Structure 1
Amino acid sequence: MSETSFDAQALVRSLPEQPGVYRMLDSDGQVIYVGKARKLRRRVASYFNASVKNPRTRALVAQVADINFTVTHTEAEALILENNLIKEYSPRYNVLLRDDKSYPYIYLSAQQQFPRLGFHRGARRTPGRYFGPFPSAGAVRETLSHLQKVFPVRQCEDTFFANRSRPCLQYQIKRCTAPCVGYISPEEYARDVEHAVMFLEGKSGEVIDRLVAQMEQASEALDFEAAARLRDRIATLRRIQEKQAITGEKGDLDVVAGLTEAGVTCIQVFVIRNGQNLGNKSFFPRAPDATDTGDVLAAFMARYYLGRDTPKEILVNMDVPERDVLEAALGQDAGHVVHIRHRVRSDRRRWVEMAVNNARTALQSRAAQNAGQGRRMEALQQALDLEAMPDRLECFDISHTGGEATVASCVVFDAEGAVKSDYRRFNIADIEPGDDYAAMRQALERRYLRLKRGEGILPDLLIIDGGQGQVRQAMEVLEELQVDGVTVLGISKGPDRRPGEEKLYLPERDETVILPPDSAALHLLQQIRDEAHRFAITGHRTRRGKARQRSQLDDVPGLGPKRRQNILKQFGGLRAVSRAGVDDLARVPGVSRELAQRVYDTFHGDAKD
């Protein structure tokens, strides 16, 4: 048995023979493993048995300095608590998901004459209907695109919809029927909404039957233009149906397959709702070496499903350890019975085989990418004459428009590629507009002050999109924060800003470094720099858009959202409001003369009528 810094046997004797969760801590008080047990004393004692041969377990026990525990009523409750604690602490000896975001839905608004369909992620508090969850944002956007082609229900935001005086581009390309300006009656629009809902409920066959009947009626009425539109809708809907329909299946289920090759495990998830295949997604959980695939699959399912919508059936490609406990925990969390099945036949067996094949393909693709990433990391080490190959790289970029809505981005790459869960954006404030040096300094200070406090991992190489000035800012920040061991590199485009002519700036070198255009190291730097630029400009556009959505009316004391909307509707836009007199403004329902005066003064200073 490995020596520990505490009396393990005394602690084991104090543990109850009840279900619960135990947390193993190292000498720094960090949680390094969270586990659950049917009987706490027996489970924890097994770690300190002299006959333990598993190298992973021995390595874990060698670092244990203390163990905390929580008693629960049932093992299912222990599994739920274990999952919550793993999400909170991210212990390095547990199976962890790198992509642990909430999953997206399609949202249909309620209590509106012309409801909207849209993308939704996060808490579902707003009244309306939610369809999903979908495995990825891409799957949601693809479905919304299909819906727009067949059922042109608006997808614009309410603020955009409420302030239109003429149709937008979506009407021109036949993706919307322009309810904002009254080009479609509420009854016709409601029919399109009903058909879209039926499609999302898996009733596309019934929708086709209704559209065929409408097409025949239009033909009999000699309305051949309407009949042609319906014919095109039917053809598009049939193509979508062929692509998404799952033979012989009407309900909700997921297909989950785990496969391990060369020490890497891929979990493939196919989502089927209302008999339609909503898409699939590959996951690569982080697990300690030599972890059995079945254990990874069981841990993944707990991390993935607890706290989210879980279907009544989950098909898997192998039996998972303690399946009854997992079913009980998922059922308790979901509020309905959940069955996990691995012995399936016929069509369901083919779905499981399809998931396994997709997992194998994803592993092969990842291995090829990682091999290429490894070669590029080695080339970078040689090109920059680094003492060791970098394990973690961070790149910063600044984006703004003439100094407006400045945003800094930080993207992170490791030996496997982009680590998107560690990306960060910083809204820059309190600087002179357009001062890129000050913006870079603020972003670096905010980022590395957090890391200095232990809220993350320091990089081996810090890449700055810029030249000597930006590099100098980075060096000063690192010096002020006493951050050691981080190499700083500046990358700027050549005089003509063409790829392949980049100049590299290293503080310890007097001359700039120019790598050959075919250099693998340069290609890696270009990829990271371009990703930082993309992430920064996306954040900048979002921030700028929010700022520009505000109007002078937002600053009028006593003018709430409802009356503000009434004023805009009455005058057809902000420009007309700015030209209106006090008497005109006071005619708007709910607007007193005093309030009208304040609105007028907002646009015309303190001048009175």
Structure 2
Amino acid sequence: MNEALKQKLSKLPVAPGVYFHKNTVGEIIYVGKAAVLKNRVRQYFQKTHKDVKTEALVREIADTDWIVVDTEMDALFLESEMIKRYMPKWNILLRDDKTVSYVRINMKDEVPYVSFTRNPMDDKATYIGPFYGKSAVEKAVRVLRRIFPYYTRPYNGKKTLDTDLGLTPGIEIGKTSAKDYKRNLRKLIRYLEGDREKLLKELEKTMLNESSKGNYELAAEARNQLFGLRELKKKIVFSDKEFLDISNDQALRQLQELLNLSEPPRRIEGYDISHQSGVNTVGSMVVFINGAAARSEYRKFKVRTSTSDDLKSLREVISRRLKHKEWEYPDLMILDGGITQVKAVLPLVEQYNIPVIGRNKSGNHSKSASVTLVFPKRSDLEARPKSSSSDCQPPDSPGLEHLELPSGSHISRLIARIDEEAHRFAIAYHSLLKRKNMLK
């Protein structure tokens, strides 16, 4: 251990969080989570018996950074997103991909149930995740079941032991209705997706309002859920994406500098178009909040006005998206394409003051593809601090410019992740439409 790292480790907080081990050139080689950062990170450097792979990892560690979060489950969620963004080599070597897990709830079912899966499908169900550590996720959701009772398998109307224990909503014994059960399931989904603080405030408001109206049963239900979640907050909760400290995220800070934004981009939307020879043309919109994928915000579009013209399809998708004022407008849009695509979209978003950039990669959507950004010329932007994102000087282009980013930079990792996700989501929808048409 070098002296600088030794000094750094002495400042580790007694708090949950995510840590990043780096090698001598600053590359992130391992991402991990901890209930107590001070204890977990120091374990790597203690003279205790370790397996061969962990010993090899420790020999490569030259530096360590960390992000403090509120709870253990915040750390679980953030760890998952950071692993997907950076794909550290030692996470791949030390982890079993089979531990990745999603929570699945299909609200289209008459009586939905909660389950877990490793492979989300485009079946209109809600998927929350991914999470690393299947047992930790299942444990957390079981704890939440005492506050928001749910079924764990397709409903058959039969009373079970879970009914007596209060772990099901009790539709089978007339305790509640399917409609009220779905209402409570939506609260569970919001909680799992990170809408925690807002949900707590709404439950408190509901409790007071129903009590003032004399609806004491509804007031008691809201009270029990409110008190249960407050107590749970002290133990184990899922990610609160809205309140993560994004000032510590280097990719978002560098994007702020590069694009002369007043703040780091909190909500980023990525777009992609997919079709096969002009057939089943679709568009995808993926959303990242504070650098983490917000799957509940994803949207897909079946293109109506164009079949094989990608520019017209992209303009249609962006136009339709902007009409949805109930969807929060983004702080940044990332397009799959270069100067042509950015120029096609800029007139649509100017009145909303939404920055737009393109990723020009000649059709290569892989994580290893180089990242070349296209964005408005620096001379067209207000004066701003010099960006530290890249040392190269971009060439001029009419109104727009290119900037080639180092393949391992923080911005490159984040943009590649967003682009890959937008491409995956578009392909999944296109494939679904293709299968449906083949069955006609």
State TM-score, norm by structure 2: 0.47
- Report the structure number with the largest CA radius of gyration: 1
Q: Work out which structure has the larger RCO, using CA pairs closer than 8 Å and 6 or more positions apart in sequence.
A: 2
